[in-house]
Amino acid sequence: MTATRVLVLNSGSSSVKYQLLDMSDRSRLAVGLVERIGEETSRLKHTPLTGGDERERTGPIADHEAALKAVAEELAADGLGLDSPDLAAIGHRVVHGGKHFTAPTVVDDAVLAEIERLIPVAPLHNPANLTGIRTAQALRPDLPQVAVFDTAFHTTMPESAARYAIDVETADRHRVRRYGFHGTSHAYVSRATAELLGKAPEEVNVIVLHLGNGASASAVRGGKCVDTSMGLTPLEGLVMGTRSGDLDPAVIFHLARVGGLSVDEIDSLLNKKSGLVGLCGDNDMREIRRRIDEGDEQARLAFDIYIHRLKKYIGAYYAVLGRVDAVAFTAGVGENAAPVREAALAGLEELGLAVDGDLNAVRGDEPRLISPEYARVKVAVVPTDEELEIATQTYALAGKNN
């Protein structure tokens, strides 16, 4: 009997999200989350999907090792223990793979060393991702551990899109270039959009708009990314929940020289106190829409700035691609916020883009088209599934050998 289960781990600095999937039918067996690792008030929420109720544990979970042990115990209680011969591999989300990792990779010492070398460009994420991998290795040293990189899908970007126009020698010395993020989502959604159009990924050009709390756009030509809005870090590009997205780099010098802010204060300002939250105090699009309905001008302006930036990227990527077959909306805002989709594409009829009001109002979990029949460019809503994509890539690489 071949092993068909894949455990997907998304390790943050104080959290671990996990899913156990059976790749024989791509079904989910269990999902869960450990939060506030290292605090007194840690919490594990476990949802078995093969029967049984959601369970919760509270109380201190000291570190990632203790977290993964607790996850293993919960899975074992459902008869899905990680010591099972049915487990084929463990797939890890790794945020930064630099230029080097262009595809999912089976982890060995050299891979760990390279992920570690990338810490200066991903100081918040890569250390946590490494801890997750090392902990899982200790738990099942015999099993393939696969690193699936957020940046990998974007490594096909041409140099003209990937380089900043700064001194080449300085840029290379410090690895300053545009890497892009949310790659697993852009890969999954661009492929699913082609499928929705009844075409092979190689045949279609898609603009993917991943609009969650973090947000990024990508231009995908024939299944390959040719440009994306996030850069060296996930700060560049669209207006996000708490991040500014694009700004004149001189704003930073100005805030330091004239405003007297330190580098760390500016970092925190632009990453945590900007975007929608900086503009109107709320980063949840539902709340912003509610305030707009009540006539709140500040919320209206925040929405308008968000949409203006989004529209600029749609236009830019239209020009980059030359021919666009579909625009796909995904993630929390993209999948749920009909007014965002409508506003982002309003007035673009000359580009062959239009949204059907009735179709746009329909809610659902399945990929669907919201453009009118006549539209030259299709508009799609495609729920993203990063965990399934990580599991699929992991299984394709490691599962068959087991």
Is residue 286 within the footprint of ligand AMP (CB under 6 A)?
A: yes
Smaller CB separation from ligand AMP, 61 or 331: 331
**Rg for the chain (alpha carbons), in Å?**
22
Active-site residue among 150, 227, 282, 325? 150
Return the number of other C-beta atoms located less than 10 Å from residue 319's C-beta. Answer: 10
Q: How far apart are CA 310 and CA 312, in angstroms?
A: 5
The answer to whether 185 and 330 are in contact (CB under 8 A) is yes
Residue 205 marked as a ligand binder: no
Is residue 12 within the footprint of ligand AMP (CB under 6 A)?
A: no
135 CB-near residues (< 8 Å, 6+ apart)? 11, 64, 65, 67, 68
Q: How far is the CB of 285 from ligand AMP (least distance, A)?
A: 3
Q: How far is the CB of 282 from ligand AMP (least distance, A)?
A: 9
**Helices first, then strands: H and E counts in the chain:** 15, 14
From edge to edge, which strands make up the β-sheet containing 326-330?
Answer: 224-228, 215-221, 205-211, 326-330, 378-381, 368-369
Q: How far apart are CA 342 and CA 240, in angstroms?
A: 18
Q: Which of residues 211-250 bind ligand AMP (CB under 6 A)?
A: 212-213, 241
Smaller CB separation from ligand AMP, 135 or 218: 218
Is residue 275 within the footprint of ligand AMP (CB under 6 A)?
A: no
**Packed helices 297-321 and 285-293: angle between N→C axes, nearest 10 degrees:** 120
Is residue 95 within the footprint of ligand AMP (CB under 6 A)?
A: no
Q: How far is the CB of 293 from ligand AMP (least distance, A)?
A: 13
Q: How far is the CB of 385 from ligand AMP (least distance, A)?
A: 11
Instruction: Report CA dihedral (85, 48, 46, 66) to the nearest 10 degrees.
Output: -10
DSSP-derived letter for residue 402 is: -
- The residues that bridge with 28 in the sheet, in sequence order, are 21
Is residue 209 within the footprint of ligand AMP (CB under 6 A)?
A: no
Is residue 98 within the footprint of ligand AMP (CB under 6 A)?
A: no
Q: Which of residues 329-368 bind ligand AMP (CB under 6 A)?
A: 331-333, 336-337
Q: How far apart are CA 381 and CA 330, in angstroms?
A: 6
Selected binder of ligand AMP within 283, 360, 371, 392 (CB under 6 A): 283
Q: How far is the CB of 154 from ligand AMP (least distance, A)?
A: 19
Q: Is 150 one of the catalytic residues?
A: yes
Smaller CB separation from ligand AMP, 34 or 398: 34
Is residue 310 within the footprint of ligand AMP (CB under 6 A)?
A: no
Binding residues for ligand AMP (CB under 6 A) = 212-213, 241, 283-286, 331-333, 336-337
Annotated binding site: 10, 17, 93, 210-214, 284-286, 332-336, 386
Catalytic residues: 150
